[in-house]
Chain A
Amino acid sequence: MTAQNKIDFATAKSELAAIAGKSGALVSGVASAGAFDDAPEGYRPADILPHAKSVLVVGGAQPRAGDWQSPNYQHMEVTTTSDRMQTLALKMARFIEDRFSYYAVAVPAGVDRGQQPFMSISMAADLAGCGSKSLAGPVLHPEFGFMYYGAIITTMPLPADKPLDPPACPAPECVRMYEAEGTTPCLNTCPAKAGGCLDGRIEDGRFTERQYDATRCATRVQNYWVPGFQKVLGATLQEPDAEKQKMMLFSSMFSRTLWSMTYSNVAQGQCAECMRVCPVGYEYRTKN
């Protein structure tokens, strides 16, 4: 345990980055706990850990190039690795407490009451300069593109990073495409005006408007898992024909929803088409 009055916080930040990198993170960064003004009250770092000073963000564990190349789209539905960053966040929180003697808590992944997250990990990644918001929704790292993030709130006053400038999205290719065609690859692959989830506007090389239909997206991204289970359960219970009800209970759809719930790797996302066409991080999604 390090005596606090001897800690060089810049050195400590480098040490944390090295540990995170060695443990599988591709990026890490720090946001000031006071920078979350845009988050509603109750969802800021100090609401989770009193006297919070910093939010350490780790990112990585994105699908491999081979995953993106598989012609079987169901492959990526059942092999996602997002849990790795949450596991790393728990490890980093413990490391901060044991090594530096400051309080630390990993932000729980997923959602809680009212399907709201405990704290926006996307916002933390954005503020920590680990990536920036995109037209497609996910926070994109300028080099690696789409990845998963974990966040650790701590009372340790680490030097804060700044949001990326310029942001990772829109990429120059997307700006050119928008100027020529009025759309980008992600908007084009899932257009809100034609039954999709995305819309937006680019002005002076930056996106100035963004529309994301989260409800519609959820019906596609989470075909299985809790929302799928609730849907199929309701339909099954309301089926008056006993024989048909039995068939529904043993159907592939019902079985898959249970598989996805008990083996939660399936839970994270079952549509990645907006990311598939994104030029940011494209080189990491292609190999020989």
Chain B
Amino acid sequence: MHASETESRTQQIKQFALDAGGDVVGIANPRDWDEHVPEGHRPYDILPGAKSVVVVGSRGPTAGAWRSPNHRVMEVNGYDFRNDAAIHRVADMIESDFDHLAIQAPGLPTGGHLPPMSMMLSAVLAGLGTRSLAANIILNPKYGLLYYSACITTLEFDYDGMLEQDVCPHHMCVESYRRFGKTPCMAACPSDNGGCLDGAIDDDGRIEYSYYDRERCVSRAMNFGINSFQKSLAQIVAEEDSERQSTMIHSDFFSRSCSAITNYKESVAQCFECMRVCPIGRTERKLQ
């Protein structure tokens, strides 16, 4: 009886999450974090008594946005926070209908670049995707790139468990690696030629190792936003010529950096080239 109740409410919350704007939903056991993260970064460190983590993934850019020759369109409109909106509704529903505690898991950086809780790990543990050669982005087998949010709750649901099969590398990428020594993502941004990515695929067609130069990636994926604002401001403050300083303050670059801070959608990512060439989820982006 207890098992069927858990199964029933699991189905109910999953359908609710999808209706609220999620494209995929999965549920993880908070204890699964133990072997992956240090103390302080586990779900039950953030919500004592946590029994489940509901994870929602939503697509970012539309298929039309992927086709735009104006790369700035996707930089500004790539992300619409649907996963955040959906996860808040999920948390509301758990508290109001099931009378259990529920919070949005904190996924933004609070110390350095580290968030209190990793949404990437949450997605993996909830069975929604696996790490890829492309900047460690978690790829969903159907959609590829997704944005994730999570809800930590004291209510117990049925857990999904991790995917049994790696999403990356795609069999086309394995073939490409064996022929050319690179996958499409590594070829698009090779670390040995000024890019961010490198890696190897073993004889079983699995990732043997992956290399991702995050600092270099940040300098490209976030041309405008907090990073460019800080960089510009340091240069502005250090400028001794007041005329030149004024010009720098009112420059197009600084204006756009300020604008990117005000419109947070814009500051998430401004380079999608490793994902553009990824075969996973490509059929979902192919329309008329």
Contact = CB atoms under 8 A, between A and B. Distances in A.
A230 B62 contact: no
Interface in B56-107: 59, 62-65, 67-70, 72-73, 76-77, 80
B67 A50 contact: yes
B273 to A, nearest CB: 18
A97 B287 contact: yes
B254 interface: yes
A227 B47 CA distance: 41
A19 interface: no
B187 interface: no
B64 A155 contact: yes
Contacts of B261: 261-262
Contacts of A262: 261-262
Interface string A43-84: 000011110000000000000000000000000000000000
Contact of A105 (B62, B236, B250, B254): B62
Nearest to B76: A108
Interface stretch (B37-45, B119-127, B241-249): B241-249
Interface residues of A, number: 42
Interface in A79-109: 87, 90-91, 93-94, 97, 101-106, 108-109
A226 B245 contact: no
B12 interface: no
A87 B21 CA distance: 13
A146 interface: no
Contacts of B68: 48-50, 105
Nearest to B233: A233
Given A105-B68, A110-B263, A229-B258, A118 B73 contact: yes
A107 to B, nearest CB: 8
B70 A47 contact: yes
A106 B242 contact: no
A226 B259 contact: yes
A89 to B, nearest CB: 9
Nearest to A233: B249
A230 B236 contact: no
A111 interface: yes
Contact of B288 (A103, A105, A113, A225): A103
B237 interface: yes
A4 interface: yes
Contacts of A103: 62-64, 67, 287-288
A105 B259 contact: no
A47 B259 contact: no
Contact of B237 (A90, A114, A230, A237): A237
B86 to A, nearest CB: 13
A57 to B, nearest CB: 16
Contacts of A48: 68-70, 73
B252 A105 contact: no
Contact of B249 (A4, A91, A114, A234): A234
A96 to B, nearest CB: 8
B241 to A, nearest CB: 11
B67 to A, nearest CB: 6
A122 interface: no
Contacts of B77: 90, 105-106, 108
Nearest to B77: A108
B256 interface: yes
B250 A112 contact: no
B64 A154 contact: yes
Which of A94, A102, A154 has most chain B Cβ within 10 Å?
Answer: A94
Given A48-B68, A103-B64, A105-B68, A112 B287 contact: no
B59 to A, nearest CB: 8
Interface string A127-165: 000000000000000000000000001110000000000
Contacts of B242: 238
Contacts of B11: none
A264 interface: yes
A267 interface: yes
B62 A104 contact: yes
B256 A113 contact: yes
A215 interface: no
Given A118-B72, A234-B249, A225 B262 contact: yes
Contact of B69 (A50, A94, A101, A110): A50
A115 interface: yes
Contacts of B288: 4, 101-103, 155
Interface in A263-283: 264, 267
A113 B72 contact: yes
8 contacts: A105-B68, A105-B77, A108-B72, A111-B259, A155-B287, A225-B262, A237-B237, A261-B262
Nearest 5 CB-CB pairings of A with B? A105-B64, A103-B64, A108-B76, A226-B258, A264-B262
Interface of B: 59, 62-65, 67-70, 72-73, 76-77, 80, 236-237, 242, 245-246, 249-250, 252, 254-256, 258-259, 261-263, 287-288
Given A118-B72, A237-B237, 20 more contacts: A48-B70, A91-B80, A93-B65, A97-B62, A97-B63, A101-B287, A101-B288, A103-B288, A109-B263, A110-B263, A155-B64, A226-B255, A226-B259, A230-B249, A230-B250, A233-B236, A234-B246, A234-B250, A261-B261, A267-B262
